[in-house]
Amino acid sequence: MNWIKHIPLLLLFLCSMTIKAQQSEQTVKPFIEQYLAYVPEGYDSTLKAYPLVIFLHGSGERGDNLEKVKIHGIPRLIAEGKKFPFIVIAPQCPDGVRWNTGALKALYDEVLLKYRVDIDRVYLTGLSMGAFGAWDFAIQYPELFAALIPISGGGNPREVCAVSTIPTWVFHGEKDDVVPLFKSADMVEALEACNGKVTFTTYPNANHDAWTETYASPQLYEWMLLQKRSTPWDKDWRLYQRQEQRSGIKKNGTLFLGSSTIKRWKYLESQFRNHNPTARGFRGITIANVDSYFFPWIYPYQPKRVILYLGDNDIATGLSPLEISRAYESLIQKFERYMPQTEVWVISVKPSPLRRRMSKGKVILDTNARLKQMAESHTKVRYIDLYSLMVNSRGVPDPKYFVRNGLYLSKEGYKLWQKTLSEKLSEGNKAKN
């Protein structure tokens, strides 16, 4: 019989927090947090991945007694014997603490490491204080979720457009005298204004408890399980998964991971065959995307070395050099926490003529300077400067290294990258010997 399991988890409910597994207890006083976990029938007898529902409780269930989390919502239904075809994770807030997005992201990462989760079918729901937390979590990390279900809550309407691509179903009681109906209505109105995929259901006779009826409805789960996250790199990811089903995952090698520059490198694996290479290129990805997909895209390979090419798309979306370096820092911290023995090589952002025409030349230079500085502050991180090899003495990109559109590398560009990276890999092997 499958049941909710009691699993302790160390969560850091502090705002400006660097989460490092080996340093957290020395640098901060963390809260020892727990969560309830439920897995569907048959979970232990199969290798398939399951959808995940993250449930956030209200203020009345805070504390250090996990039984309180079972008072309402999905945990209550499971405690009463209801069976679901998805994993359920229900964390508990300590007394006096509200839901913190950084701590919830840490929980998400831990869950992906521990359970077989279909990352394209992760659903977020919460009631009352949990609905406020769900809005905030989804707004901060919209790329994580396939659907959002806030009940009797609210949030910041000025930020809600961040979740415009997430199918959202909002519920509220019209007679709510704890969290007024307009709290949800304002979020829905703002989301509709930016063409969000939102449905709003109100209960004319319900007070604050709009969740009992909502979670009891089979229609909610039928709708939820139809939702699947769609990303520009779905096709790329499915292709790699099919390859691995046929030939398996290559471990303990060199993982090349990045955006279209890696995707378009046709002969990468054959050119670096002496280093047990795996090439994973995804069109349109940003540094934050790799951070979110760390466990399916990086962790299974357990590589000795990861060579990253990222930043082009971050610059195109308007991120500043400081924001890009901070995003990279977050990703590096994940390596240090979960894969401390892995070497990380960070390739400089290339001097694309197209980006220069878009007045991004200085942004690229400043970004590379920050990436170099960041790498120097970590023992397992190395900065690879390919930028300076692709420009002349005046800092102008050499056109022979780029195709006509001025964005992608030409054959000559890839030859330069292959030669330079091969030399540096050989230097690393000699140093070890």
The CATH number of whichever domain residue 310 belongs to comes to: 3.40.50.1110
285 and 213 share one domain? no
Domain boundary among 226, 242, 264: 226
**Same domain, yes or no, for 220 and 272?**
no
Please state the pTM of the whole predicted model: 0.78
Q: What is the pLDDT of residues 210-263, one digit of tens each?
A: 999 999 999 999 999 999 988 888 889 889 989 998 989 999 999 999 999 999
Spatial strand order of the sheet with 277-281 comes to 277-281, 254-258, 305-309, 343-347, 381-384
Give the number of other CB atoms < 10 A from CB of residue 385. Answer: 14
User: Across residues 405-417, what is the average pLDDT?
Assistant: 93
Q: Give bridge partners of residue 10 from the DSSP assignment.
A: 32
136 and 244 fall within a common domain: no
Domain boundary among 208, 226, 244: 226
Question: How confident is the model at residue 27, as a pLDDT?
Answer: 28
Residues 311 and 348 in one domain: yes
Final residue of a structural domain among 207, 226, 245: 226
195 within 8 A of 225, measured Cβ to Cβ: no
Do residues 212 and 72 make contact, with C-beta atoms less than 8 angstroms apart?
yes
Q: 373 and 319, same structural domain?
A: yes
Do residues 37 and 66 lie in contact, with contact meaning Cβ atoms separated by under 8 Å?
no
Separation CA 285–CA 317 (nearest Å)? 11
Domain total in the chain: 2
Residues 328 and 346 in one domain: yes
pLDDT tens by residue, 328-383: 999 999 999 999 999 999 999 999 888 777 677 899 999 999 999 999 999 999 99
Q: Are residues 144 and 35 in the same domain?
A: yes
* Count of Cβ atoms closer than 10 Å to residue 243 Cβ: 12
Residues 64 and 13 in one domain: yes
C-alpha span between 292 and 8 (Å, rounded): 23
**Are 14 and 120 part of one and the same domain?**
yes
Residue 396 and residue 288 share a domain: yes
CATH number at residue 220: 3.40.50.1820
177 and 278 together in one domain: no
Domain containing 263 equals 234-432
What is the C-alpha separation between 271 and 282, in angstroms, rounded?
A: 20
In 266-360, which ranges are continuous DSSP H helix? 268-271, 287-292, 294-297, 312-316, 321-338, 353-357
Strand ranges across the sheet with 147-151: 5-11, 31-38, 87-91, 50-56, 117-127, 147-151, 168-173, 198-203
Instruction: Identify the pLDDT of residue 48.
Output: 86
Asked if residues 125 and 151 have their Cβ atoms less than 8 Å apart, the reply is yes
Q: Looking at the structure, do residues 269 and 217 belong to the same domain, yes or no?
A: no
